[in-house]
Structure 1
């Protein structure tokens, strides 16, 4: 049981890091714009910067298992938006997907940690 949990967590982390690398490359190939690519990179860090300090405090009042479940569901919905991007004029959907996925990750990570003693 523990090894399958570790394996699934590792696969999920690998997928998240591949997304961090692949989306900027995709935006640049789609738009040819360093500015559009830079905006995407900035949006990847924004949720952790703005919501990160409050995520742990809010999770102290919530059920961590429920928060993790909802965060994963939100991340999956956000990543699904990527499938709708097929032209440069829809790059805003990628921006929305990155914001949603990274906000969900910002909530998921502290919820998955054991409580402090």
Structure 2
């Protein structure tokens, strides 16, 4: 996984390529490398493509976002333009809430891990001081 991480920044540049087929290929490559692991960086890089002028790019995005983000419900009707504006707004709001909750959870877990590691380190120092 760490080796794959090196390729993401390089590939994200291809998301702005003028050719739609290149953007579609990059979307699928990012999804293949992410292989279901949630990544807010990849999600943020892909999210602007939901307004892409090419239908094929939007369709590719709808296919892969659940894999890349790890959450959210996407329907193919949006790419076809069958989803109403109100429904799109609800989907976008739900997705934004999910992303926010995920990021808050990640930050909370990071803080908890830091506190936990500090506690372990303090116990270790106390044990060493007794010796």
* TM-score, L = length of structure 1: 0.39
* TM-score, L = length of structure 2: 0.36
**Larger-Rg structure:** 2
Q: Which has the higher helix share?
A: 1
Which gives a bigger RCO, structure 1 or 2 (Cα 8 Å, sep 6+)?
1
